[in-house]
Chain A
Amino acid sequence: DAGVIQSPRHEVTEMGQEVTLRCKPISGHDYLFWYRQTMMRGLELLIYFNNNVPIDDSGMPEDRFSAKMPNASFSTLKIQPSEPRDSAVYFCASSLQTTYGYTFGSGTRLTVV
Chain B
Amino acid sequence: KQEVTQIPAALSVPEGENLVLNCSFTDSAIYNLQWFRQDPGKGLTSLLLIQSSQREQTSGRLNASLDKSSGRSTLYIAASQPGDSATYLCAVGISGNTPLVFGKGTRLSVIA
Binding site for B on A (CB under 8 A): 4, 31, 33, 35, 41-43, 45, 48, 56, 91, 93, 97-102, 104-107
Contacts and interface: CB of A to CB of B under 8 A. Distances in A.
A48 to B, nearest CB: 5
A106 B41 contact: yes
Nearest to B4: A42
Interface of B: 31-32, 34, 41-46, 49, 89, 93, 95-105
A4 B43 CA distance: 10
A45 B34 CA distance: 16
B83 to A, nearest CB: 19
Contact of B49 (A35, A41, A100, A107): A100
A41 B102 CA distance: 10
12 contacts: A31-B99, A41-B104, A43-B105, A45-B99, A56-B99, A91-B43, A98-B93, A98-B99, A99-B98, A101-B46, A104-B43, A106-B43
A104 B99 contact: no
Contact of A98 (B49, B89, B98, B102): B98
Contact of B44 (A41, A48, A104): A104
